[in-house]
Amino acid sequence: MFTSPFKNITAKTKKKLTFSLFYLFIISAVVLKYFNVYLDTASAPYGIFSFEMAGNLDKSMEIINSWSPLSKTFAGLSLGYDFFFLLIYTLFISLLIHKVNERLWIGKPFYKIGKLLIWGMFFSAICDVAENVSLIKLLIGSYKQYWSSIAFTSAIVKFTMIGISLLYLISNTVLLLFKKSS
């Protein structure tokens, strides 16, 4: 079975990596939020997220057409920057799952769920790449339904995996806090 990619990293290195990824995550989220300011329109009330979730070519085209040339530039910058961001959030969430998993579940059957979620986060990064490529293809003029469909499906899988992983992290962190207090 799969092992955690963080298994052989020292505790000191894990701590440094966690803080570095946290700071990079915050900075990157601010950068992406800045880009997104230029993408909010009546057709895309949630900016790039609206574009990701369009699901069909007509809606994708409506969003693209609602953007000014400057907005389209920021959409491209956002999609390009997201290739960096997906590495950050994947590693950060995976590392946090690993750390919680090691403290709570090592040697127990539930440990396998954490390992599966760690690798699931890497799968979500692959989905994010497929989504970004599809949205870039639409943005540069390859108006095909399958690009909208790939972007939508990839976004759903990505957000579902991230959501499940975050729920796992939150519930296990609460459990860990209760264990410490008793």
The per-residue pLDDT for range 122-134, each reduced to its tens digit, is: 999 999 999 999 9
Q: What is the mean pLDDT of the chain?
A: 96
**3-class state of residue 65 by DSSP:** helix
Confidence of residue 113 (pLDDT cuts 50, 70, 90): very high
Q: What is the pLDDT of residue 181?
A: 83
Distances (CA, A) of 73 to 30, 67, 77, 136: 18, 9, 6, 11
**Domain chopping of the chain, boundaries:** 11-181
Q: What is the pLDDT of residue 1?
A: 60
pLDDT at 22 over 90: yes
The answer to whether the pTM exceeds 0.75 is yes
Residue 77, token pair as written in the block: 């910058």
- For the ranges 45-59, 97-111, 129-143, the lowest mean pLDDT is seen at 97-111
The per-residue pLDDT for range 24-36, each reduced to its tens digit, is: 999 999 999 999 9
Contact 124, 158 (CB under 8 A): yes
Contact 148, 55 (CB under 8 A): yes
